[in-house]
Amino acid sequence: MPKLPEILEIKTIAQTRLFHVESMHLKFSNGEERDYERLRSGKRGAVMVIPMPDPETVLLIREYAAGVESYELAFPKGLMEIGETACEAANREMKEEVGFGGKDLKLLKEFSLAPGYLSHQMSLVVARELYEEKLPGDEPEELEVVPWSVNQLDKLIDRNDFTEARSIAAIYLLQRFLENQ
């Protein structure tokens, strides 16, 4: 394993309500120095949940995605509250976004999105043994809940409104999880 670069300086170069951009001045073990920029995440992590009301079905949400200016299908997700575990956050987000809680929640994977310039981490949780429970969420409009057959996940990947890389990765991790059950 190569030696990590020495961090000579970190400074904030821009900050908004959502984003914190940092400049990092690094010195590598061969003496080379470079400046990198990264989006720094807050202290809370994020969670994505795959709700399974039965062994053959997953629940997706259709939600407006401002980045691409369209409605997208994806798995429910959100920020973890301070003190919450990934499974607790997944259960809360599921109640807010799809109107179900889960009795059996399993952490499948923690992953990054673009580690070259984002410090953001996401925990992927699968939820089973669902029960009805709705909590108020922070979405500006009611989300459409879309049931999808686990036998049709390949068709989901082909859809033009299912483009989020995190949700696509979640499908592959879910398939691996289900094969080992």
pLDDT cut 90: percent of the chain above it = 70
Confidence of residue 42 (pLDDT cuts 50, 70, 90): low
Alpha helices in the chain (DSSP H): 86-97, 153-157, 165-179
**Burial of 180 (C-beta count, 10 Å sphere; 0-12/13-18/19+):** exposed
For the whole model, what pTM was predicted? 0.85
88's CB contacts (< 8 A; 6+ apart) are none
Q: Is the pLDDT of residue 171 over 90?
A: yes
Residue 164: pLDDT over 80: yes
d(CA 47, CA 87): 8
For residue 18, the tally of other CB atoms under 10 A from its CB is 7
CA dist 21 and 118 (Å) reads 9
pLDDT one-digit tens code per residue, 118-137: 777 899 999 999 999 999 98
